[in-house]
Structure 1
C-alpha cells in the first residue's frame, strides 16, 4: 500500500523551522502561519515528528519576509 505523505523533498519540523527563521518568531506563530496557509503544504505525522513543512516552502517564506522588510 502506498503511503499518502511520502515525499522526496526534505521536510522540516516546527522546531527546525524556528531555527531556520533564526528564532525570531515563536513556535505558536509558526503554527499560526501553517494554519493560515503561509507555510504550505503542511504534513501532519503522529509521534515525535508532528507537523512538517517542505524546506522549499520555508525558504520561500523566509525570502518573502526579507523582501517585505527591505533588508
Structure 2
C-alpha cells in the first residue's frame, strides 16, 4: 500500500519530485520481495505492479515534457 500511495503522491506533484517517483518504485519492489518470501502472509502483488507502472509512466512523461538543459 505504501508503494501505491507514494506513486499517487508523485502523480499529484506531476513528477516535479523525482525522488518520490523513485521511492514509489523501490517500495513496490520491496513489496514484491516480501510477497515472494511469504506468500501465505502477504497479498497485493497487483498493487505493487500498478505502482511500478505508475512510476514508470510518470518518469517517461516527465522526461518528455521537461525541456532539456542547454
| TM-score, with length taken from structure 1 | 0.30
Q: Which has the larger radius of gyration?
A: 2
| TM-score, with length taken from structure 2 | 0.30
More helix per residue: 1 or 2? Answer: 2
More strand per residue: 1 or 2? Answer: 1
Q: Larger relative contact order (C-alpha < 8 A, sep ≥ 6)?
A: 2
